[in-house]
């Protein structure tokens, strides 16, 4: 019970949650990691019992861990190509002891999307077209990769069945296929929730 109370206090505000990470990771939080309030709201929309939600470009795992804590009946998985960020996500997950949260170190183009039902997308490709927003220099970035990844996700989403749910945060609508109906648009119109018709 004490562990549960300590864990729930982590999700009251971003500073408390970010204390799970070293200082250089905390400094990236405002620009690169999903805020706790956004993760709660997105998680609530995506959480359907016995389904699997994928976070594309999961960073240090803030979305998956937050949503997974509040929705234990749903599985949350994040894929991240930077090994350091993946490692910090695994450490944070172990600290909170969440059995419904998993992380994969790899590139999204290597993933079988048939294994996932719903998706969270915090504009993970933006650093390819905006050098000032880079996290670090451990992965290659380019306009070509932005196009490749954007087209890949678009095609994947297009092939998903009706009732597939998607949450985008700071992502252009052009990355969402026309079959998805916008059902909620909040937080100054940067948090959008979609359901495929």
27-75 pLDDT, tens digit each:
877 767 899 999 999 999 999 999 999 999 999 999 999 999 999 999 9
CA distance linking residue 69 with residue 74, whole number of Å: 10
pLDDT at 70: 95
Percent of the chain at pLDDT exceeding 90? 64
CA distance linking residue 63 with residue 78, whole number of Å: 9
pLDDT at 141: 63
pLDDT at 83: 94
- β-strand pairing of 75-80 with 52-56: parallel
The secondary element (H helix, E strand) that includes residue 91 is helix 83-96
pLDDT at 53: 98
CA distance linking residue 41 with residue 62, whole number of Å: 13
124-151 per-position pLDDT tens digit:
766 655 666 666 666 676 778 878 888 9
In terms of pLDDT, which residue wins out, 165 or 141? 165
Question: How many CB atoms neighbour CB 95 within 10 A?
Answer: 12
């Amino acid at each position: 019970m004490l562990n549960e109370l300590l864990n729930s206090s982590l999700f009251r505000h971003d500073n408390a949650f970010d204390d799970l990470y070293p200082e250089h990771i905390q400094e990236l939080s405002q620009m690169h990691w999903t805020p706790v309030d956004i993760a709660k709201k997105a998680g609530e929309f995506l959480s359907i019992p016995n389904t699997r939600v994928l976070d594309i470009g999961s960073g240090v795992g803030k979305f998956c861990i937050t949503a997974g804590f509040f929705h234990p009946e749903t599985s949350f998985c994040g894929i991240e190509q930077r090994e350091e960020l993946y490692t910090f996500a695994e450490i944070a997950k172990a600290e909170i002891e969440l059995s419904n949260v998993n992380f994969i170190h790899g590139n999204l183009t290597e993933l079988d999307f048939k294994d996932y039902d719903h998706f969270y997308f915090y504009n993970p490709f933006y650093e390819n077209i905006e050098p000032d927003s880079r996290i670090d220099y451990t992965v290659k970035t380019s306009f070509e990769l932005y196009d490749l990844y954007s087209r890949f996700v678009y095609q994947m989403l297009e092939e998903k069945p009706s009732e597939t749910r998607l949450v985008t945060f700071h992502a252009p609508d052009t990355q969402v296929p026309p079959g998805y109906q916008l059902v909620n648009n909040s937080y100054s119109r940067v948090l959008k929730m979609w359901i495929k018709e």
